[in-house]
Amino acid sequence: MRHTVSALVENKPGVLVRIAGLFARRGFNIESLAVGQTEKPSISRMTIVVDVADRPLEQVSKQLNKLINVLKVSDLKASEAVERELSLFKVSAKPETRAEVIEIVDIFRAKIVDASRDELIIEATGTEDKIAAIENMLAPYGIREMSRTGKIALARGGKKTE
Amino acid sequence: MRHTVSALVENKPGVLVRIAGLFARRGFNIESLAVGQTEKPSISRMTIVVDVADRPLEQVSKQLNKLINVLKVSDLKASEAVERELSLFKVSAKPETRAEVIEIVDIFRAKIVDASRDELIIEATGTEDKIAAIENMLAPYGIREMSRTGKIALARGGKKTE
């Protein structure tokens, strides 16, 4: 089962190694990872997507909580959080297919952020499902490069994320 | 100096530990990190933002290139790449200040993705500078939580990112 683990950590060298090490030692592959600033400059939030059963994840969460520089760990449920990720797609778009690609961009409320003679760079944001859907639609035109940020999330409905 | 390092890696447990370890051993603090899928399911792209002089970064890049499961490492220049990140802000917005917050959202072409009685969750994408600017504008209203993905980037102008 896929889980989204959110960890508040102190912004210090070595924290990432310890966290990544905990997952790697168990052979858990991290599907995506986003680490960025929070509202406090000394603290970063790591959002980790990992495919693992509930039980072993619980154990890892407990061990994460014990690590130095890790302040808080939680297992975010999709239903209770706003989840978003960002993707950049570099897509083939020759003059004769450009209009079709632009149509897809409009349907998904994505944005064209660079253009060259036979390529467009498209920025899309949304849930994982939405990003997968636009990827499927763009694939027949030729996705030359794709870069994804991995998911971030905040708790909905006036609740604190933690 | 701040650098954006992009690494194509095989999607296997342990890769992240080795890369994070290389940075940590030198005491380099990773400011942001985004790891996500690419156009090939077995390959991920890591985009690492690190504040370090040119010379030591060159050495780290060389060592990264030698690591198992690391396919390609490059130091992306902002002028040659489309750089984007995504941020979620949870902001206080009581009925009497809500209109002002919505105005800021419109100015930055951001989106409101959740609302409760006295909070809004706002999704913003753009360059680091743009995200910093919207953060500055929202700060006086009270940013309760912020989560950022870290930067991703693709080369502009029909060039390959590598």
CB B13 within 8 A of CB A24: yes
- Which of B104, B142, B136, B122 minimizes the C-alpha distance to A154? B122
| B53 in Cβ contact with B1 (< 8 Å) | yes
Q: Is the domain of A66 the same as that of A97?
A: no
> Would an 8 Å CB–CB cutoff place B156 in contact with chain A?
yes
Mean pLDDT, residues B55-68: 90
CB contact, 8 Å: A67 with chain B?
A: no
Over chain B, what is the mean pLDDT?
Answer: 92
Read off the pLDDT band of A162 (50, 70, 90): low
Alpha-carbon separation of residue A159 from A55, A155, B116 (angstroms): 26, 6, 9
Average pLDDT over every residue of B69-91: 92
Residue ending a domain, choose from B76, B110, B133: B76
In a domain, B101, yes or no: yes
Percent of chain B scoring above 70 in pLDDT = 99
Domain residue limits at A116 = 82-152
Separation between Cα atoms, residue B136 and residue A137, nearest integer Å:
37
- B147:A38 CB<8 A: yes
End-to-end CA distance of chain B: 22
Q: Provide the pLDDT for residue B125.
A: 97
Q: How far apart are the first and last CA of chain A?
A: 21
Read off the DSSP letter of residue B66: H
Same domain, A89 and A67: no
pLDDT reported for residue A55: 86
- Find which of A46, A69, A113, A149 to mutate to test the B interface (most B CBs within 10 Å of its CB): A149
Longest dimension (CA), chain B: 58
The per-residue pLDDT for A78 is 77
Q: Is the confidence at residue A65, as pLDDT, over 90?
A: yes
The ipTM value here is: 0.92
Distance CA A84, CA A57 (A): 22
Angle made by CA atoms B26, B31, B35, in degrees to the nearest 5: 100
Whether residue A42 is predicted with pLDDT greater than 70 in this model: the reply is yes
pLDDT for the residue numbered B30: 87
With a CB-CB cutoff of 8 Å, which residues 4-63 of chain B face chain A? 11-14, 16-17, 20-21, 23-24, 27-39, 44-45, 47
pLDDT at B162 over 80: no
Span B22-42, average pLDDT:
90
Residue A103, pLDDT score: 97
Q: Are residues B40 and B56 in the same domain?
A: yes
In a domain, A137, yes or no: yes
pLDDT over threshold 90, residue A2: no
The size of the A-B interface in CB pairs under 8 A is 193
Residue B40 to residue B89: CA distance in whole angstroms: 32
Q: Quick one: pLDDT band at residue B76, thresholds 50, 70, 90? A: confident
Q: How many domains does chain A have?
A: 2
Asked whether residue A88 falls in the same domain as residue A30, the answer is: no
pLDDT at residue number A133: 97
Q: Tell me: pLDDT of A105 over 90.
A: yes
Tell me the pLDDT tens digit for each residue of A12-38.
888 999 999 999 898 888 889 999 989
User: Considering only CA atoms, which of A54, A55, A60 is closest in space to residue A77?
Assistant: A54
For B33, which of A33, A90, A160 is closest by C-beta distance?
A33
In terms of pTM, does the model score above 0.80?
yes
The beta-carbon neighbor of B13 closest among A29, A85, A154 is: A29
Residue A161: its pLDDT value, please? 77
Please tell me the predicted confidence (pLDDT) of residue A89: 97
Q: What is the mean pLDDT of residues B57-70?
A: 91
In a domain, residue A162? The reply is: no
Q: Which residues of A touch B119 (CB under 8 A)?
A: 158
Mean per-residue pLDDT of chain A: 92
Kindly state whether residues B71 and B137 are assigned to the same domain.
Answer: no
Strands (DSSP E) contained in chain A are: 2-10, 30-37, 43-51, 70-76, 81-92, 111-116, 119-126, 143-148, 152-155
Q: pLDDT at position A158, please?
A: 73
Burial A149-160 (b: 16+ CB within 10 A, else e): bbbbbbbbeeee
Same domain (yes/no): A97, A71: no
- Residue-level pLDDT at B90: 96
Angle between helices B54-66 and B15-25 (to 10 degrees): 150
Q: Which of B51, B76, B101 is the last residue of a domain?
A: B76
A133 vs B75: which has the higher pLDDT: A133
Instruction: Report yes or no on B25 lying in a domain.
Output: yes
Show which of B52, B76, B100 is a domain's final residue.
Answer: B76
Q: Residues B123-136: what's their mean pLDDT?
A: 96
> Comparing A82 with A54, which gets the higher pLDDT?
A82
In a domain, A88, yes or no: yes
Selecting from B17, B39, B90 the residue whose C-beta is nearest the C-beta of A24 gives B17
pLDDT at res. B79: 79
